[in-house]
Chain A
Amino acid sequence: MTDASAALSEETGSTRFRKDGRWAALLSRAGLSIAILAVIAYGSAVSPVFFTTGNLVNVMTSMAIIGIVVVGMTFVLVVGGLADLSVPATIACGAILSLALQPMIGPVPAFVAAIGLAGLCGLVSGVLVGYVGINPIIATLGIGTIVLGIVQASVGGVIVYGTNPETAMLVKSRLFGIPTIVLIFLAVALAGNFLLARSWWGRWTFATGGNPKAAEAAAVPVRAVKAGAFVITGLCSGLSGALLGLTLQSARPLVGTGYEFSAITAVVVGGVSIMGGAGSVPRAVAGLVFVQLLTNVMVLQGVRTPVQGLVLGLLIAGAVALDVALRRRGGA
């Protein structure tokens, strides 16, 4: 993954660093890859468990669920939409509906409907942010709370259980030793990277995040592009939630709590600008890989949870400070 991400970021992530010094450029381009390798080396050295197939498959599986959200969140940050805080609600929407609708309409339609409804939640947030002009934090927090309330009410606030164990088997199955769920994540990441880095929609996303006024004056439909980023995040979290539900074969309304924070952490640590206009899916995924491996090493080493939180918090602060510093040097 790291090699692939480094190769892909050549295309997209490099432009904003071009003006900076050679060291800064090197650090920003290769820094994350070096950090990932360092964590792997350290983890292998201090823990006999770390570099085993079992542990790495575990890391990849838990990474896949967040990773799908990370892909969507990248669009929100790049378009200048700050963050989508409705992720816990859209994940819950995906998880609960994909299980609860199974007896009524069958597993596949339930899966699709769950994702579709999560996308609809994203559309509502997107319209509020893009067309009405409400601050994204407020809009997504509000919509998230409302959606979570509806979902909770509709299932009576209790845990929903799966009725079709075969679906769980499918999600947990492996292809060439790689869990299916990881393959789904890779497919989403590739699609997200294509959309952001290669398609006209992606170029519009960068333009809107870079300078919305100029983008509008260049006939880019900035409102729709902004709204679109939230729809993409909604769909991604819906998918992530549906997969989570099928894996666990049970879903609580609070199943998605904390995922928004993990996703934002990964995206920001990956060097995607919180101010919009710069970033890429491979960079965000590299940020995720780093954070996940680091957390895994800390868990294996028995580092206490508060300390883990401290480390992750420092990482975010450092990444944001670096972003601001680079921007200032870039003269923007």
Chain B
Amino acid sequence: MAASGSALRMRGISKTFPGVKALSDVSLCAEYGRVHAIVGENGAGKSTLMKILSGAYPPSAGTTEVDGAEVRMRKPADAQKLGIRMVHQELNLVPDLSVAENVYLGRMPRRRGFVDRAAMLRDTKAVLEELGAAIDPKVRLGELSISQQQLVEIAKAYSAGPRIIVLDEPTSSLSEHETAALFRILRTMKAAGIAIIYISHRLKEVLEIADDVTVLRDGRLIDTRPAAGITAAEMIRLMVGREVTNVFPKTPSEIGTPVLKVVGLGDGRDFQDISFEVRAGEILGLTGLVGAGRTELARAIFGLTPASEGRIEINGMAAAITSPAAAVKAGIAYVPEDRKDSGIIPSMSVRENISLPVLRRLSRLGRVSMSADRRLATKYTRDFAIAPPDPERRIEQLSGGNQQKAVIARWLSTSPSVLILDEPTRGVDVGAKAEIHRIIGELVAGGMAVVMISSELPEVLGVCDRVVVMRDGRASPPVARAEFSEERIMALATGEAAA
């Protein structure tokens, strides 16, 4: 297994999705027996790069060499054949199978056509012992804790005898103690001469385990350096360090009294003890890394998955938000994160999508008044400049930005006092983004309170009046606009001290 020279050399990798350049001209070089960390903000291109490495996406340009020979991977099986193994953030395991069956899933040892269970159990036991994990190979996977399952996932990759292992945020569900155990395993694998690629947001861990660090930003390679000479603050600067031009002009508005107040909100799982308030005419940013609990918090405030602890107040009155209908009645509106998955009803027209929450108000004796329905759709199509300006068109035929405008329009007829927007501009083009910002600006100018969840720091800093940063399910105290800086927000999001 030991070899001289680079295990992996990716050169000039670019990847273009329709309308988006996810990666441009990124190069990466990993050596045997070393841990190479890749860091970057959400959307910097880390996942795309790893998907190319694992054969899930073909690159638009660039070459990949494994062991000095150029390779072309069309599907994940090709990458596996080359000895590249992924350990995914979301575990790819079957809860109802045993640990051993999971480790050897799809490549179980066979004898005379039958699975050789004895050999499988023996080998699994050996691998787990080698990794220093005290797990019984016979036990059903679903009975293990998440961190033990993570170890099984690593054992699964390790047992295949890989040359390169990619770990994507392996510590996101691990405690400090478990992280230390993971690091022992990584050092074992390192000693065995495996090249390890380690993706993480946790800069402290990166400094602890990595030999080399590559920083990506906006789909570009910023720098690759030995980890020895770098500090967390420097990494943050490299991750963030873009020219802060004011591409997000802020519409001035008068800030009034608190409209939505959240006190000690928690769901016992994804977020705990969240308190903040949003005032009329204010845009409160809610940011943090993916998985910090922002969306879960928003869903709880809107009653989709009601919180188990804490309380919500609207205009100073306690509100029992047990369902979306209750939230609408209390004056809360919510534009979900994934437009295609939970925003639009693709089979319905723009008109039908817009009037959904107010249908009963548009009805008499159960019958929806078509004229009222059309009037509403026409009004918002015009006000929001939805293109094409035909409310009868099926919404899935519109561009992402126009779909989003229709989803926002849906709520305005309920006259909400608080609007929660979850990543409202993700995946929309620059022009539509500016229009959505303009719409949000007009709404707050009219006295609405807005909570905007966004992973995009320049957007958060450009548009918001105050920002609350979430990390591991907890919220920071609000940062006022006067104190905004990318470094400060990033430091709060990653839990590292800023420079």
Q: Which residue of B is nearest A201, CB measured?
A: B366
Residues of chain A lying within 8 A (CB to CB) of residue B323: 221
Q: Report the bound CA distance from A213 to B116 in whole Å.
A: 44
Residues of B352-404 whose CB lies within 8 A of A? 352-353, 355-357, 359-360, 362-363, 366-368, 393-394, 396-397
**Which residue of B334, B356, B366, B396 is within 8 Å of A332 (Cβ)?**
B396
Residues of A179-235 whose CB lies within 8 A of B? 194-195, 198-201, 203-204, 206-207, 209-211, 213-221
- Contact A220 B356, CB 8 Å, known A16-B347, A207-B348, A210-B346: yes
Asked if B410 is at the interface of the complex by the 8 Å CB criterion, the answer is yes
Q: Report yes or no: B347 in contact with A332, Cβ–Cβ below 8 A.
A: yes
Q: Report yes or no: A203 in contact with B368, Cβ–Cβ below 8 A.
A: yes
Asked if A88 is at the interface of the complex by the 8 Å CB criterion, the answer is no
- Contact A277 B394, CB 8 Å, known A200-B368, A219-B328: no
Q: Report the bound CA distance from A215 to B323 in whole Å.
A: 13
Asked if B342 is at the interface of the complex by the 8 Å CB criterion, the answer is yes
Cβ proximity bits B328-350 to A, threshold 8 Å, 1 near / 0 not: 10000010100001111111110
**Which residue of A201, A214, A221 is within 8 Å of B344 (Cβ)?**
A214
- Contact A211 B359, CB 8 Å, known A200-B366, A217-B324: no
Q: Report yes or no: A15 in contact with B368, Cβ–Cβ below 8 A.
A: no
Q: Report yes or no: B367 in contact with A199, Cβ–Cβ below 8 A.
A: yes
Q: Nearest Cβ distance between residue B367 and chain A, in whole angstroms?
A: 5
Q: Among B323, B359, B362, which residue has the most Cβ atoms of chain A within 10 A?
A: B359
Q: Report the bound CA distance from A215 to B410 in whole Å.
A: 12
Residues of chain A lying within 8 A (CB to CB) of residue B368: 198-200, 203
Q: Nearest Cβ distance between residue A9 and chain B, in whole angstroms?
A: 16
Q: Which residue of A is nearest B411, CB measured?
A: A218
Q: Report the bound CA distance from A244 to B304 in whole Å.
A: 44
Q: Report the bound CA distance from A206 to B353 in whole Å.
A: 11
Q: Report yes or no: B344 in contact with A211, Cβ–Cβ below 8 A.
A: yes
Q: Report the bound CA distance from A16 to B304 in whole Å.
A: 29
Residues of chain A lying within 8 A (CB to CB) of residue B357: 218-220
Q: Report yes or no: B348 in contact with A332, Cβ–Cβ below 8 A.
A: no
Q: Report the bound CA distance from A295 to B115 in whole Å.
A: 51
Number of B interface residues, CB 8 Å? 35
Q: Nearest Cβ distance between residue B396 and chain A, in whole angstroms?
A: 6
Q: Among A209, A217, A277, which residue has the most Cβ atoms of chain B within 10 A?
A: A217
Residues of chain A lying within 8 A (CB to CB) of residue B363: 199-200
- Contact A217 B334, CB 8 Å, known A16-B347, A278-B347, A331-B396: yes
Q: Report yes or no: A210 in contact with B348, Cβ–Cβ below 8 A.
A: yes
Q: Report yes or no: A206 in contact with B366, Cβ–Cβ below 8 A.
A: no
Q: Report yes or no: B347 in contact with A210, Cβ–Cβ below 8 A.
A: yes
Q: Report the bound CA distance from A204 to B349 in whole Å.
A: 13
Q: Which residue of B is nearest A215, CB measured?
A: B345
**Which residue of A220, A221, A332 is within 8 Å of B346 (Cβ)?**
A332
Asked if A19 is at the interface of the complex by the 8 Å CB criterion, the answer is yes
Q: Report yes or no: A217 in contact with B342, Cβ–Cβ below 8 A.
A: yes
- Contact A218 B325, CB 8 Å, known A207-B345, A331-B396: no
Q: Nearest Cβ distance between residue A187 and chain B, in whole angstroms?
A: 17
Q: Which residue of A is nearest B366, CB measured?
A: A199
- Contact A218 B366, CB 8 Å, known A16-B347, A210-B348: no
Q: Report the bound CA distance from A220 to B342 in whole Å.
A: 12
Q: Report yes or no: B341 in contact with A213, Cβ–Cβ below 8 A.
A: yes
Residues of chain A lying within 8 A (CB to CB) of residue B341: 213-214
Q: Which residue of B is nearest A277, CB measured?
A: B347
Asked if A18 is at the interface of the complex by the 8 Å CB criterion, the answer is yes
Q: Nearest Cβ distance between residue A196 and chain B, in whole angstroms?
A: 12
Q: Is the interface of A mostly helix, strand, loop or mixed?
A: helix
Q: Nearest Cβ distance between residue A23 and chain B, in whole angstroms?
A: 19
Q: Report the bound CA distance from A211 to B336 in whole Å.
A: 13
**Which residue of B304, B352, B359 is within 8 Å of A217 (Cβ)?**
B304
Residues of chain B lying within 8 A (CB to CB) of residue A332: 346-347, 396
- Contact A216 B324, CB 8 Å, known A198-B367, A199-B366, A203-B352: yes
Residues of chain B lying within 8 A (CB to CB) of residue A201: 366
Q: Which residue of A is nearest B422, CB measured?
A: A217
Q: Which residue of B is nearest A194, CB measured?
A: B367
Q: Report the bound CA distance from A221 to B325 in whole Å.
A: 8
Q: Nearest Cβ distance between residue B343 and chain A, in whole angstroms?
A: 6
Residues of chain A lying within 8 A (CB to CB) of residue B302: 217
Q: Report the bound CA distance from A35 to B363 in whole Å.
A: 37
Q: Report yes or no: A218 in contact with B352, Cβ–Cβ below 8 A.
A: no
Q: Report the bound CA distance from A18 to B396 in whole Å.
A: 12
**Which residue of A18, A217, A220 is within 8 Å of B343 (Cβ)?**
A217
Q: Nearest Cβ distance between residue A80 and chain B, in whole angstroms?
A: 11
Q: Report the bound CA distance from A42 to B409 in whole Å.
A: 53
Residues of chain A lying within 8 A (CB to CB) of residue B327: 219
Q: Report the bound CA distance from A195 to B327 in whole Å.
A: 27
Q: Report yes or no: B359 in contact with A204, Cβ–Cβ below 8 A.
A: yes
Q: Report the bound CA distance from A213 to B324 in whole Å.
A: 12
- Contact A211 B346, CB 8 Å, known A199-B363, A216-B324, A219-B325: yes
Residues of chain A lying within 8 A (CB to CB) of residue B353: 218
- Contact A211 B342, CB 8 Å, known A206-B348, A219-B327: yes
- Contact A15 B394, CB 8 Å, known A216-B324, A220-B356: yes
Cβ proximity bits B396-423 to A, threshold 8 Å, 1 near / 0 not: 1100000000000010000000000000
Q: Report the bound CA distance from A214 to B397 in whole Å.
A: 17
Residues of chain B lying within 8 A (CB to CB) of residue A220: 356-357
Q: Nearest Cβ distance between residue B19 and chain A, in whole angstroms?
A: 16
Q: Report the bound CA distance from A221 to B329 in whole Å.
A: 13
Q: Report yes or no: A15 in contact with B324, Cβ–Cβ below 8 A.
A: no
Q: Nearest Cβ distance between residue B296 and chain A, in whole angstroms?
A: 14
Residues of chain B lying within 8 A (CB to CB) of residue A216: 304, 324, 342
Residues of chain A lying within 8 A (CB to CB) of residue B336: 213-214, 217
Q: Which residue of A is nearest B352, CB measured?
A: A203
6 cross-chain CB contacts under 8 A: A18-B393, A19-B394, A210-B347, A214-B344, A277-B348, A332-B346
Complex A-B, nearest 3 residue pairs according to Cβ-Cβ distance, in ascending order:
A213-B342, A200-B359, A210-B347
Q: Point out residues on B near A: beta carbons under 8 Å.
A: 302, 304, 323-325, 327-328, 334, 336, 341-349, 352-353, 355-357, 359-360, 362-363, 366-368, 393-394, 396-397, 410
| Beyond A216-B324, A216-B342, A219-B324, 13 extra complex contacts between A and B, CB < 8 Å | A199-B368, A206-B352, A207-B352, A213-B341, A215-B345, A215-B356, A218-B410, A219-B328, A219-B357, A220-B356, A220-B357, A277-B345, A277-B347
